[in-house]
Amino acid sequence: MISSFIANPAFLEDIIRILFVFVLITAAFTLSTRNIASLLTVYAVQSLLMVLIAIFLYMIEGNKTLIAIAALTLVSKVLLIPLFIDLIGEKIKISRDLKFNYLEPTASLIVSMGLILLAYVFLSGFFSELIMSKLFFMGAVIGLSLTLMGMLVIFSRRKVITKAIGYLTMENGVLLFGIFVADLPFIIEILIVIDLMILVLLTTILAIGLDSTIEEYHQRLQTLKIWSGSGD
Amino acid sequence: MLEAFIYIAVIALITGTVLPLLYSSKKSRKASFGLSFVSSIFLLVFAGTILYTGEESVFPAIRFIPGLDFTLTADRLSGGFILLIAAVVSGVSIYSVEYVEHAKSEARKDLQAALTNLFILAMMMVVLAGNMVCFLVFWEIMSLSSLMLVLHDYFSEENKKAGLFYFIMTSLSTAFLFMGFISLFKLTGSAEFGSLNYPASDLTLPFLCLFTGFGIKAGLVPFHKWLPYAHPAAPSSISALMSGVMLKVAIYGFLRFLLSISTPELWWGTLILIAGSLSAVLGVIYAVKESDIKRLLAYSSIENIGIIFTGIGLYLIFKLEGVESLALLSLAGACFHAFNHALFKSLLFLGAGSVVHATGTRNIEAFGGLIKRMPHTTTLFLIASVSIAGLPPTSGFVSEMMLFQAYFYSSALPDPLLKVLLIITLSVLALTSALAAALFVKLFGITFLALPRTRCAQEATEVPKPMLLGEAMLAIFCILSGLFSSRILALLDFDLGIPDMLLLGLILVGTCGLVRIAVRNSGPSKTRTSKETWGCGILDQLPTMEYTSAGFSEPLVVIFKKIYRTEISSTRTYSDTKESIFNSGTAKIHLIKFFQERLYLPVAYAVSLISSQVSRMQNGKLDTYVLYVFIAVLTLMTFTRYFA
Amino acid sequence: MNASFLLFTLLNTGFILLVSPLFMSLIKKVKAYAQGRKGPSLLQNYLDLRKLIQKEVVYSPNSSGIMRVTPYLNLAVLLLASLFVPVVFIPDAPAGIGNIIVFLYLLAIERFFTALCGLDAGSSFGGMGSSRLMSLSAVIEPTMVIAFAALAYVLRTVNFHEMFAITAGSTIPESPTLTLISISLFIIIIVETGRIPVDNPATHLELTMMNEAMILEQSGKNLALIELTHAVKQTILMAILINVLVPWGLVTKLTFAGLAVSCLYFLLKASLLAGLIGLFESSIAKMRLFRLPSFYMMAFFFSALTILMEVFA
C-alpha cells in the first residue's frame, strides 16, 4: 500500500506542497524567534525540509543532480553550519536576540504575507502557467518569498548571528528557486556552499573578535578611526 | 390607493412639525409625536405592500419651476428603506413623548418636537425622491434639521464644536453630491433617476464624487470623525434617528446610484470593499477604547456602516465576476444588515438615553449595578447588545452570516488575486465581529452588572413607561426580524439558503428547559444566596475593586497600540546631580487622534491659508472691483479671439 | 424533522455528553505521567461532576440574573452545537443544522455569556478573566474563520454534515490542504479550551488564569454545568479535527453495527488525540499574556498560507 503511494506522483506533489508551507513557517519563525538556540534549530529544520523536497522531487523527476544536492545540503546546512554557529554562540554567550529594527515580529509576518503575494504576482507575469506545471511554479514562488523573507530577517534583526541566519535563509530560497526553475548546475551549488562556509567563518571572527552587534562594530571602527563614518 | 398612505403620512408629519410651534404645551408635543407614530404606521403598511408585491408606484409630479419637477417614486429598494425608517420612527416617537420633557426650557421642547418631525419627513422624502432635484432639496432639509437638533444644547462649548464639525462635514458631503449629480446630469441630460447605460469610463467621476459624498454622510473612514462628535451632543432620541436612519439614507442614495449602472468596473467594487473593511475594523477598535457611552455607540455605528459597505463591495465584485447567486446574497446581506442595524442601534441609543437620563452622566466608569435599579431597561439593552454582537439566533447574526457565507463560497471566483483580497477582507471582518462582541461585553457588563461605582448610579431609578414602551417596540422588531429572517427573505422571493433561525431558537430554548429539568431535582432545593464575592479574604467588597471600563479594554489597547498611536512622555527632576534621588515628575499618555491631526487639520490649514490669500483680494474698494472686471473682460476677449 | 434526525439528536448528544468528561481526565492523566506523577483516576471527572451537582448553589449578593441563567444557557448552546458535529453517524439534518458559521457563533454565545458572568459578581478576578478572554478571543478569531473558510474552500460546502460525508467517503485526505488545516484546527483546540501555552487550566493563580478566573464565583450545580460545558466544547472541537483528518469509521447510514463501530472508532481516535494534547501541553511552557498575540499571528500566518496554497494551486 505504501509503495503504491510513493509511486503516485500526485501524492508526492501533495507532500511537497505541505513541505512548502512548512518551509515558509520556518522562515516566519526566523523572523520572530528570540532564542538563538531555537533559531538555529529552526534553520536546521528548514535545511532538512530542503533535503526532503529535493528527495521527493527526485522521486518524481528522476534527475540525479537532485540527490547530490540533497546530500550536500544535508552535510553542510543541516549539520556543519549549525554546529559552527552553535560554537560561536557558546563563545560569545549570547542566548537571545531581543531587539528589532523597523519591524516588530507581528508586523514582519504581515509584511511577509504581502511578500508571498508579491512573489506570486511578479512570477506569474514571467512564467505563463501553461509552460510550467503548477508545482514548479509554486516552488519558484516559495523560493523567491523565502529569499525575500531572509532579507527581511537581515535588516529587521540586530545581532550578527541572526543576520547570518537571515543570509542562510536567503540562500535556501535561492536553492529552492534553483531546483524548481533554473536547473542550477551542481557546481554552482557547491560554490555557494563554500561561500556560506566562508561567511560563517567570517561571522565567527567578527562576532568573537569584536562584538555582538553591527552598531557596536561600527562604533569600534569609528573610535579606531579605521572607518570615519562621522567624517571628522 | 397605496399612494394615499404616503399623503397621509406627509400631512401627519407636517402637522406634527407645525403644531408644537403654534401651541406650546405638553399636549401639543404629545400630539406631535402621536402624529409621527401614526405616520410610521401608514409608512409600515405602505412599505410592506411595496416590498411584498414588488410593484412600483409613481406619484404625479409636482412642478415648481418649469423644467424642475419634484417627482416621487417608490420601488422595492425605496420600499425597504421606508420600512426601516418607519420601524425606527415607531419606537422613537413613543420614547420621545416622555423623553422630550426633560429638555431644559419650553421653547427647546417645542423645537425638538417640531424638528424631529421635520427630520423624519425629510428622510422619508429623500428615500422617495424620483429625481436629483427633489433628492438634493430634501437631503439639505434633512442635514439642516439634524444640525439644529445636534445644536439643541447650544450653550455648551463642546456642543458648539460638535455642531460646527457636523456642519462642515455635511456641507462637504452635499458639495460632493452636487458635483456627482451635475456630472451625471451633463452625461444623461435628465435629472430623473433611471438606468445608466454608459461606458464605465464616463461614470468614473460621478462614481467617485457620489461615493465620497455618501461616504461622508454615512461615516466611512476616513470621513467618520463627525459621528463621535455629533452623536453625544444630540438628544438620545435624535442620535437614535441619526445613527439608525440617517446613515442608512446615505447608503440608500449610494445604492440607488450603484444599482442603476449597467456596467460598473471591478476596481469600484474593490475600493468599496477595502473602504468598508477598513471602516469596520477601525470603527470597532476605536470604540473599544471609548468610555463615553454615546461616543462608543457612534464608533460602533462606523463599524456597522463598514460592514454594510463590505457587503456592497462584495456584491459588485461577485456580479462582475459572474457569480450571480453570491452577488444577490451579499447585496441582500448588506441591505438586511442596514435594516437590522437601524433597529438595534436605535434601541441601544434609546437605552443609553435612559441610562444617561437616570444617572446624569455619559461616562461608563460611573455606572455599574444598574441591572438591579433599571431591570427593564437592562433587559432591552441586553437584547440589543446580543443582536449587535452578532449572536444567533438574533437579527445581527443573520445579516453578518450572509456576508460570511458569501465569503466562504468565494472559491467559485476565477481570479486568484481577487480570492486573496477576499481572504484578507474576510479575516478583517472576522476580527471586527469578534471585537464587537468584546465591545458589548464591556459596555453591558460595566454599565449594568456588579456594584454601582458612583452615587449617581446608586440612586438611579427606572425610567417612565412610555420610554420603556418605545424601546420594547424596537426590541420586538429586532427579535422578530431575527427569528423569522429566512421566512421574511423567502417571502420577498430571495431564496438564499440560509439557516432557519426559528428552528435554532426553538431548539435552544428547548434544550435550556431540558437541562433545567434535568438538574432541578438533584441536591438540596434551598440555595444560599447571601455569600460575599470572594475577594482574597477581604470582607465588604467595595465598588472600587471592580474591573473598570479602561481596565477591561487595556489588553486590546496594548495589542493594538500601533493603531491607537499612544504617545507616552515623561519628565523627571532629581534632587541631586547624579540623578538618583527622584524629586518630582510628570507622565503623560497622549492619544494621537490620527485622522484629525494628520488628515483633517492639514486640509483645514491649507484651506484657511488659501482663503486668507484670496480674502486679501477682497478689500472692499470699489476701484479694485472695477479693476477685476476690467481684467476679466480683457481676458475673455483674448480668450474668445484666440482659443475658442 | 425526520426520524433519523431525531434519533441522531438523542444518540449524538448523549454520546458526546457521556464521553466528554473522560477526555478531560485523560489529558490530566497524560500530563501527570509526563510530570512523573500517577494522576487521578480516569473516572475522577465523573465523580467530581456527581459531587458538584448535589451541592447547593451559592450566589454573591452582587450578582444578578445573568449568573443564574448562564450555566443553563451555555450548556444548551454547546449541546445545540454538538448537533452540528456528527460523531455517531451522519443524518439527514434539516437545513441550517451543521452550518459552519452558525457553529462558530454558537461558540461566541458561550464566550459572551461566560464573560458577562465574570463581570457579574463584581470581583476583580472575574473582570480580569473576561477582559482577557474577550480580547484574546478577538485576536484568534481571524485564524479560526480562515481555517474554517479553508475547509469550506477545499470541500466546497459550508455544512459540517456534508463535509464529513465527503471526507468519510475517501480513504486518504482529499488534498494536502486538509492536512495543513488540521494543524490549524489543533491550535484552535488548544486556544479555545484554554490550554497551555494560552491559559493554564490547572492553576488558580491570578497571574496565569483566564477561564478559571471567570468561574471563581460559580458553585454547586452551576459549576458542574460549566465544567460539563467546557468538556463538551473540547470534545466537539476534537471531533471536527478527527472527522477532517482521520474520518475512517464514521458511518453515513444508520445501522446498529455501524453505530457501534463509529462510536468505538471515535473513542479510540479521540483518546489518542487527547493523549497528544496532554503531551503537547507538557512539552511547552505557559506564554506571557502579551506574547500571545504574536503566537496567534503565527497561527494566522499558517492558516493564511494554507488557504493561499489552495488558491494558487
The shortest C-alpha distance from B287 to chain A (Å) reads 23
Which of C294, C301, C313 shows the shortest C-beta gap to A138? C313
Q: Determine the Cα–Cα distance for residues C289 and C200; give it in Å rounded to an integer.
A: 11
Any chains having at least 3 CB pairs less than 8 A from chain B are A, C
| Residues C251-279: tens digit of each pLDDT | 877 788 888 888 999 999 999 999 999 99
Q: What is the mean pLDDT of residues A202-212?
A: 60
**In chain A, % of residues over pLDDT 90:** 15
Q: Determine the Cα–Cα distance for residues B144 and B237; give it in Å rounded to an integer.
A: 17
| Residues B67-85: tens digit of each pLDDT | 677 888 888 899 999 999 9
First to last CA, chain B: 56
Helix (H) or strand (E) holding B308: helix B293-320
Pairwise CB contact (< 8 Å): A109 & C179? no
Residue B205, burial from CB neighbour count under 10 angstroms (0-12, 13-18, 19+)? middle
Q: What is the pLDDT of residue C89?
A: 86
Q: What is the mean pLDDT of residues C222-241?
A: 95
Q: How many CB atoms lie within 10 A of CB C173?
A: 19
- B383 in contact with chain C, both atoms CB, cutoff 8 A: no
Residue B559's closest CA among C141, A153, C104, C150? C141
Which of A117, A129, A141 would you mutate first to test chain B, the one with the most B CBs within 10 A? Answer: A117
Q: Determine the Cα–Cα distance for residues B553 and B48; give it in Å rounded to an integer.
A: 42
Pairwise CB contact (< 8 Å): A25 & C294? no
Q: Determine the Cα–Cα distance for residues C194 and C202; give it in Å rounded to an integer.
A: 10
pLDDT at A229 over 50: no
The shortest C-alpha distance from C272 to chain B (Å) reads 30
| Residues C116-170: tens digit of each pLDDT | 999 998 888 889 999 999 999 999 999 999 999 999 988 889 999 999 988 887 7
Residue of C nearest to A119 (CA): C312
What's the grid cell of residue C166? 465527503
Residue B120's closest CA among B215, B240, B231? B240
**In chain C, % of residues over pLDDT 90:** 57
Pairwise CB contact (< 8 Å): C64 & B428? no
Q: What is the pLDDT of residue A123?
A: 84
Across C11-26, b (16+ Cβ under 10 Å) vs e yields bbbebbbebbbbbbbb
Task: Quickly state the pLDDT bin for B533 (edges 50, 70, 90).
Answer: confident
Mean pLDDT for chain B overall = 90
Parallel/antiparallel/unpaired status of strands B62-65 and B57-58: unpaired
Residue of B nearest to C84 (CA): B504
What's the grid cell of residue A30? 526566523
The shortest C-alpha distance from C180 to chain A (Å) reads 7
Which chain A positions have a beta carbon within 8 Å of C304's beta carbon?
113
The torsion defined by the Cα of B355, B358, B359 and B363, in degrees rounded to 10, comes to: 20
Contact residues for B124 (Cβ-Cβ < 8 A; gap 6+): B9, B10, B13, B43, B82, B85
Q: What is the pLDDT of residue C208?
A: 61
Pairwise CB contact (< 8 Å): B562 & A121? no
Across A143-166, b (16+ Cβ under 10 Å) vs e yields bbbbbbbbbbbbebbbbbbbbbbb
Domain map (residue ranges) of chain C: 3-312
Per DSSP, B190 falls in state: -
pLDDT at C78 over 80: yes
Task: Quickly state the pLDDT bin for B599 (edges 50, 70, 90).
Answer: confident
Which chain B positions have a beta carbon within 8 Å of C65's beta carbon?
371
Which chain B positions have a beta carbon within 8 Å of C125's beta carbon?
534
**In chain B, % of residues over pLDDT 70:** 98
Task: Quickly state the pLDDT bin for B644 (edges 50, 70, 90).
Answer: low
Query: Read out DSSP for chain A?
Result: -HHHHHH-HHHHHHHHHHHHHHHHHHHHHHHH--BHHHHHHHHHHHHHHHHHHHHHHHHHH--HHHHHHHHHHIIIIIIIHHHHHHHHHHHHT--B---BSS--HHHHHHHHHHHHHHHHHHHHHHS-TTTS-HHHHHHHHHHHHHHHHHHHHHHHB-BHHHHHHHHHHHHHHHHHHIIIII---HHHHHHHHHHHHHHHHHHHHHHHHT-SBHHHHHHHHHHTTSS-SS--
Pairwise CB contact (< 8 Å): A32 & C304? no
What's the grid cell of residue B596? 484629525
Pairwise CB contact (< 8 Å): C297 & A120? no
Q: What is the pLDDT of residue A232?
A: 39
Contact residues for B98 (Cβ-Cβ < 8 A; gap 6+): B463, B464, B465, B466, B467
Q: What is the mean pLDDT of residues A196-200?
A: 74
In the stretch 555-574 of chain B, residues with CB closer than 8 A to chain C read 555-556, 558-559
pLDDT at B527 over 70: no
Q: What is the pLDDT of residue A214?
A: 57
pLDDT at A131 over 70: no
Q: What is the mean pLDDT of residues B545-550?
A: 89
Per DSSP, B574 falls in state: E
| Residues B397-442: tens digit of each pLDDT | 999 999 999 999 988 888 888 999 999 999 999 999 999 999 999 9
- Asked which of A184-188, B425-429, B434-438, B624-628 is least confident by mean pLDDT, the reply is A184-188
Q: What is the mean pLDDT of residues C89-108?
A: 89
Q: What is the pLDDT of residue A50?
A: 93
**In chain B, % of residues over pLDDT 90:** 60
- B284 in contact with chain C, both atoms CB, cutoff 8 A: no
B374/B566: higher pLDDT: B374
Any chains having at least 3 CB pairs less than 8 A from chain A are B, C
For B362, the 3-state DSSP assignment is coil
- Asked which of A203-207, B343-347, C35-39 is least confident by mean pLDDT, the reply is A203-207
Q: What is the pLDDT of residue C1?
A: 57
Q: How many CB atoms lie within 10 A of CB B619?
A: 9
Residue of C nearest to A34 (CA): C291
Pairwise CB contact (< 8 Å): A116 & C175? no
The shortest C-alpha distance from C42 to chain B (Å) reads 24
Q: What is the pLDDT of residue B332?
A: 94
Answer whether B310's CB lies under 8 Å from B274's CB: no
The shortest C-alpha distance from C154 to chain A (Å) reads 14
Residue of A nearest to C292 (CA): A106
- Asked which of B104-108, B127-131, B525-529, C202-206 is least confident by mean pLDDT, the reply is B525-529
CA separation, residue B79 to residues A118, B204, B249, B403 (Å): 45, 28, 12, 22
Task: Quickly state the pLDDT bin for A230 (edges 50, 70, 90).
Answer: very low
- B114 in contact with chain C, both atoms CB, cutoff 8 A: no
- C175 in contact with chain B, both atoms CB, cutoff 8 A: no
Across the B:C interface, residue pairs with CB atoms under 8 Å apart total 248
- C200 in contact with chain B, both atoms CB, cutoff 8 A: no
In the stretch 391-430 of chain B, residues with CB closer than 8 A to chain C read 391-392, 397, 401, 404-405, 407-409, 411, 416, 419-420, 423, 426-430
The torsion defined by the Cα of C100, C101, C103 and C109, in degrees rounded to 10, comes to: 170
Which chain A positions have a beta carbon within 8 Å of B562's beta carbon?
107
The shortest C-alpha distance from C283 to chain B (Å) reads 27
Q: What is the mean pLDDT of residues B580-597?
A: 80
Which chain B positions have a beta carbon within 8 Å of C129's beta carbon?
none
Task: Quickly state the pLDDT bin for B354 (edges 50, 70, 90).
Answer: very high
Pairwise CB contact (< 8 Å): C297 & A109? yes
Q: What is the pLDDT of residue B135?
A: 93
Q: What is the pLDDT of residue A228?
A: 46
| Residues B277-287: tens digit of each pLDDT | 999 999 999 99
B594/C41: higher pLDDT: C41
pLDDT at C204 over 50: yes
Pairwise CB contact (< 8 Å): C308 & A116? yes
What's the grid cell of residue A57? 522531487
The torsion defined by the Cα of B352, B357, B359 and B360, in degrees rounded to 10, comes to: 110
Q: Determine the Cα–Cα distance for residues C158 and B192; give it in Å rounded to an integer.
A: 43
| Residues B309-327: tens digit of each pLDDT | 999 999 999 999 999 999 9
pLDDT at A2 over 60: no
Q: What is the pLDDT of residue C171?
A: 64
Which chain B positions have a beta carbon within 8 Å of C300's beta carbon?
427
Q: What is the mean pLDDT of residues C104-121?
A: 94
Length of chain C in residues, anyone? Answer: 313
Q: What is the pLDDT of residue A207?
A: 61
pLDDT at A92 over 80: no
Q: What is the pLDDT of residue B594?
A: 78
Answer whether B73's CB lies under 8 Å from B59's CB: yes
Residue C113's closest CA among C49, C65, C53, C62? C65
- C148 in contact with chain B, both atoms CB, cutoff 8 A: yes
